[in-house]
Amino acid sequence: MTLVPDNALAEAIKTALSTDHNPKRNFTQSVEMIVTFKGIDMKKGELKLREIVVLPKAPPKEMKVLVVPTLQQMDYARKAEPNVVLSKEELQKLQGQKRAIKKLASQNDWFLIAPESMALAGRILGPALGPRNKFPTPLPNTPDITEYVLRFKRSVAVKTKDQPQVQVFIGVENMSQNDLLENAKAVLNVIEGKVKSAANIDAVYFKTTMGKPAKVRPK
């Protein structure tokens, strides 16, 4: 189902980037898409989103990835140049270092963990990741994980928590409007595939970091 026509999404993105909504700042602002839901009881768990979307148009601002690979995967992991690479032993040494763990949890978007280290990561990183609505993701068992890690550098999480809405990074303000549209559509397609009914989507908004939101309603 396509609830919001491309031209309506494009117009909302254009409005969000306009000077009326987006006064010039001295830094490059992120562009986010917010989707609000209706007719859903979040307390009853009627909608739980925890999806990974690879953005078709890679933003210049990459997602920050932490990787805990196996020994065989280590060189391949480093080749992808993630934000942080930890060996299983280095992860173990973080035990009890609350400040360092919280820093890693706040400064990284994705946590790619070899299956053999998943239980350890859950025990050490989990208490800091949970409150931030972040989660460890298992690495594949193949030695060459370079492309897998690179994919997460352009991936976003579509996830709900307590409120009937999701807020997702789709790029930065100096990307082309067509590229932002392609990324928005990729995210929206995943959301539309997860809601029970088209009527559950109330509205879609686009906004820059410091700008006003531009709203579009489903048709």
Cα separation, 171 vs 215, whole angstroms: 18
- pLDDT at res. 218: 75
Strand bridging mode 65-68 / 214-216: unpaired
Together in a domain, 83 and 144: yes
Q: What percent of the chain has pLDDT over 90?
A: 75
Together in a domain, 187 and 209: yes
For the segment 118-155, what is each residue's pLDDT rounded down to a tens digit? Answer: 999 999 999 999 999 899 999 999 999 999 999 999 99
DSSP string over 74-126: HHHHHHT--SEE--HHHHHHTTT-HHHHHHHHHH-SEEEE-GGGHHHHHHHTH
Determine, yes or no, domain membership for 46: yes
What residues have CB less than 8 Å from 55, skipping those under 6 apart?
154, 155, 156, 170, 171, 183, 186, 187
Determine, yes or no, domain membership for 51: yes
Determine, yes or no, domain membership for 1: no
Q: Which domain does 93 fall in, by range?
A: 65-152
For the segment 64-108, what is each residue's pLDDT rounded down to a tens digit? Answer: 999 999 999 999 999 999 999 999 999 999 999 999 999 999 999
Total number of domains constituting the chain: 2
Decide which of 152, 186, 205 is a domain's last residue: 152
Q: Which of 205, 168, 132, 178 is nearest to 30 (CA)?
A: 168
Cα separation, 174 vs 117, whole angstroms: 39
pTM, to two decimals: 0.86
Residue 113 CB neighbour total at 10 angstroms: 23
CATH number at residue 52: 3.30.190.20
Say which residue the tokens 């400040």 belong to.
99
For the segment 5-20, what is each residue's pLDDT rounded down to a tens digit? Answer: 889 999 999 999 998 8
Q: In what order do the strands lie in the sheet with 165-172?
A: 165-172, 30-37, 201-208, 214-216
Determine, yes or no, domain membership for 77: yes
Together in a domain, 93 and 199: no
Together in a domain, 124 and 180: no
